[in-house]
Amino acid sequence: MQKNSLYWFTQDLRIHDNAALEAAQQSDSLVCIYIVEPSWFSAQRWQHASMGPHRWNFLQECLSDLAQSLHSLGQRLHVYYGDPEVIVPRLCQTYAINHLLCMRRAGSDEQAALSRIKRQLPTVKLERVDQYTLFNSNELPLPLAQWPMQYTQFRQHAEVCDIKPASAAPSSLPPMPALFALPSIERPSWLPAPTVNQNEFKGGESPARQHLDEYFKGALPANYKKVRNEIDGWGNSSKFSPWLNQGCVSPRQVKAMIANYEQAITQNESTHWLFVELLWREYFQWLHHRIGATLFHFKGLADSPPLTSYYAERFQKWCHGETPYRLVNACAKELKATGYLSNRGRQIMASCLVNELSVDWRYGAAWFEHQLIDYDVAVNWGNWQYIAGVGVDPRGGRHFNIEKQTSLYDADGRYQSNWQADVGGHLDSVDAADWPIFEPVPLE
């Protein structure tokens, strides 16, 4: 019996260290697809669409680069627009597909959709591969059913584990099925209009590999821990996350680069801390597998919800950099303009929304999801729970003193000035009964 495979690319947009492509090499025919879903661009929960313009631009660059790589291997990337629960079964039935390949994803919504697709295709073998994480699901440092609710316990086990080495790209791939009909290239009406890229990130595996090579050529890895908390500056963090989170590069490839640097140039606390940051990302992936949709619940992993609500006016001012806090406003403006923000800036913004503005943390998480070029569901929502005190932080959340953060990370005001951040007016223009709040008039 012929083995006809369909490989559904998602967040694994590369040909190197790609276990699905390795498995596909044993097929008689192969179809490679990517599906752009209309639900990404429509406002759903918490008022914002998942896919904002920054990540959409980056994704299109990633797909273009992947298409060129597949072409060099005698294959082609077919991009479809629509619902995967319609497109995947239709392709399988039309081209007698009996082997469906895809990456194992942490997202609870994505897992549920894949289960519904599988029920439509009872005779098709579904193979999910682990290539978004350092560890395979059957090689975890701790059993998933016993996944710890504190990162430290995971780190202690994971740091001493061997990491599976990254694999090379295949030299060739099976052909497409005979008489395969190409998808329509007509642009759907629900796609957003193209916008100008306003950041320094170029999507795709080729730019990702180039960035890794450049980063590990000099002294940046050896100084990483000293500067990683800075609020601004290209070299003050690794900037791997946009490519990692679209799968243009794998965490195993990054780990291999760290090991090579330590062997060839230097090994110190900073080089190890790069690995520690990879472990944080890893921890959140498997935590999402463990807790599922609880990642999106208001009270998260806590016994009770936080004492916050939804203040529409406060939230809008926070999004657009119009709060009474100049540093927060600078962070908000950078995020909105570029789709990127330092880790320190993200924590300051999140703490302000939860602690100073008393707004439901999920609206902030959804805004970050919409804006961030490096959005990852497990990392974004896990970190927001962490700040809000309903996640894995045993101390019950983080409250950053904005004045202190300003003196530590932008004492000269350069960052705030660069983003033309001003101090906004009052947080509220109406009271709880929706009456206007007026400035008191001094007595003569």
Integer Cα distance of 360 and 350 in angstroms:
10
Residue type at 396 in one-letter notation: G
Q: Is 147 exposed, middle or buried (0-12, 13-18, 19+ CB in 10 A)?
A: middle
Per-residue pLDDT at 224: 97
Per-residue pLDDT at 6: 98
Integer Cα distance of 383 and 305 in angstroms:
16
Query: How many CB atoms sit inside 10 A of residue 40's CB?
Result: 17
Residue type at 150 in one-letter notation: Q
Q: Is 304 exposed, middle or buried (0-12, 13-18, 19+ CB in 10 A)?
A: exposed
pLDDT averages per 10-residue partition of the chain, 444 residues: 95 98 96 97 89 96 98 96 96 96 93 96 97 95 92 94 94 92 83 82 97 96 96 95 98 98 97 97 96 95 92 95 97 97 97 97 97 97 96 84 97 96 86 68 52
Integer Cα distance of 131 and 16 in angstroms:
11
Per-residue pLDDT at 416: 97
Per-position b or e across 273-298, b if 16+ CB within 10 A of its CB: bbbebbbebbbbbbbbbbbeebbbee
Contact indicator for 338, 199 with CB cutoff of 8 Å: yes
Angle (nearest 5°) at CA 171 between 169 and 172? 115
Contact indicator for 350, 389 with CB cutoff of 8 Å: no
Per-residue pLDDT at 44: 80
Per-residue pLDDT at 432: 64
Integer Cα distance of 5 and 124 in angstroms:
10
Per-residue pLDDT at 354: 97
Of 327, 335, 330, the C-alpha closest to 405 is: 327
Domains and CATH numbers, the chain: 1-132 (3.40.50.620), 135-165+206-291 (1.25.40.80), 312-418 (1.10.579.10)
Per-residue pLDDT at 186: 80
Integer Cα distance of 264 and 392 in angstroms:
36
